[in-house]
Amino acid sequence: MRVTPLDIIQKQFTANRRGYEPDEVRSFLEEVRETMEDLLKENQRLREQIARFEAEIAELRSEEHEVKETLQLARQVKEEMERTARRESDVVLGEARLEAEKIIMAAGDEKRDIQAELVGLRSQKAQLMGEMRGIIETHIRLLDDLDAEGAAAR
């Protein structure tokens, strides 16, 4: 039987000539002792359970802190990677622009060279045509002179 505080307050022992009945007192004290032992054991078990829970809570808080730090570090790494990617893309874009400008400049130079060559070729053509006209005109005069000589000889 479990002894409650009310049982202790309400307990009445049978009195005899020398006081209370020793067997009743011993029996009641044994019940109180057993109850106290059970309560102390339960109290100790609960304290141990609280200690385990507190240790788990501390471990979880530590892990939570580590997770938060890891998350913050991951955010920083992500931001750094984004900055690095932007810088690299800016570099690649800059290099591509420089290469495009070089190509455009080379094409412009080539165009100027071709245009200069075309002007030279047109000049040579005009010169050759003038020379050929001169030669043809000379030949026509020679033919006319030969014709006139041939008509005079006939």
pLDDT tier, 13 (very low <50, low <70, confident <90, very high otherwise): confident
pLDDT of 1 reads: 61
CA dihedral 144, 148, 150, 153 (to 10 degrees): -170
pLDDT of 50 reads: 97
Q: How far apart are CA 76 and CA 126, in angstroms?
A: 74
Average pLDDT over residues 45-71: 95
pLDDT of 99 reads: 97
Q: Which two tokens stand for residue 142?
A: 């020679």
pLDDT tier, 119 (very low <50, low <70, confident <90, very high otherwise): very high
Q: How far apart are CA 84 and CA 104, in angstroms?
A: 30
